[in-house]
Amino acid sequence: MDNIIEVRNLSKQYKELKAIDDLSFEVHKGEILGLLGPNGSGKSTTINCILSLLNFSKGSIKIFNKEMKPTAYDIKAKLGVVFQDISVFEELTVYENIDYFCGLYIKDKNKRKQYINDAIELVGLEEFKKFRPKQLSGGLLRRLNIACGIAHKPELIFLDEPTVAVDPQSRNNILDGIKKLRDNGATIVYTTHYMEEVEIICDRVIILDKGKVLATGTTDELKELASIEEKVTVEINNLEEKYIEQIRKLEDVHEVKYNGNILLVTYKKGKNNLLELMDYLKRENIKYNKIYSERPTLNDVFLELTGKELRD
Ligand SMILES: Nc1ncnc2c1ncn2[C@@H]1O[C@H](COP(=O)(O)OP(=O)(O)OP(=O)(O)O)[C@@H](O)[C@H]1O
Ligand SMILES: [Mg+2]
- 36: domain CATH number? 3.40.50.300
Shared-domain flag, residues 285 and 172:
no
- Give, as one character, the DSSP assignment of residue 155: S
pLDDT digits 0-9 by tens, 206-261: 999 999 999 999 998 998 888 888 999 999 999 999 999 999 999 999 999 999 99
Q: Give the pLDDT confidence of 256-288 residue by residue, as tens digits.
A: 999 999 999 999 988 889 999 999 999 999 999
Helix residue spans in 66-193 (DSSP H): 73-76, 94-103, 109-123, 138-150, 168-183
Q: Give how far the C-alpha of residue 305 lies from the chain's centroid of Cα atoms, to the nearest Å.
A: 18
Q: Specify the pLDDT at position 309.
A: 78
| Residue 264 and residue 279 in one domain | yes
CA of 301 to the centre of ligand 1 (A): 23
User: pLDDT digits over 192-206, tens only?
Assistant: 988 889 999 999 999
Q: Do 165 and 189 sit in the same domain of this protein?
A: yes
Residue nearest to atom 6 of ligand 1 (CA): 14
Which of 203, 223, 243 marks a domain boundary?
Answer: 223
* Cβ count near 154 (within 10 Å): 20
pLDDT bucket at 120, cuts 50 / 70 / 90: very high
68/101 same-domain check: yes
pLDDT of residue 312: 53
Structural domain of 237 = 230-295
Please tell me the distance between residue 51's alpha carbon and the centre of ligand 2 in angstroms. Answer: 14
Measured CA to CA, the distance from residue 132 to residue 91 in angstroms comes to: 7
Same domain, residue pair 111 and 256: no
What residues have their beta carbon closer than 5 A to ion ligand 2?
Answer: 43-44, 84
CATH number at residue 239: 3.30.70
Residue 148 phi, psi (nearest 5): -65, -35
Q: Whose CA is nearest to atom 17 of ligand 1?
A: 44
Domain match, 118 and 264 both = no
For residue 5, report the distance from its CA to the centre of ligand 1, in Å.
Answer: 22
Domain presence at residue 303: no
Whether residue 283 sits in one domain with residue 161? no
User: Do 290 and 150 reside in the same domain of the chain?
Assistant: no
Q: Are residues 39 and 89 in the same domain?
A: yes
Residue 177: Cβ within 10 Å count: 19
Enumerate residues 6+ apart whose C-beta is below 8 A from 272: none
Q: What span, in angstroms and rounded, lies between the C-alpha atoms of 141 and 131?
A: 10
Domains identified in the chain, total number: 2
Same-domain status, 213 and 267? no
Residue 113's identity, in one-letter code, is K
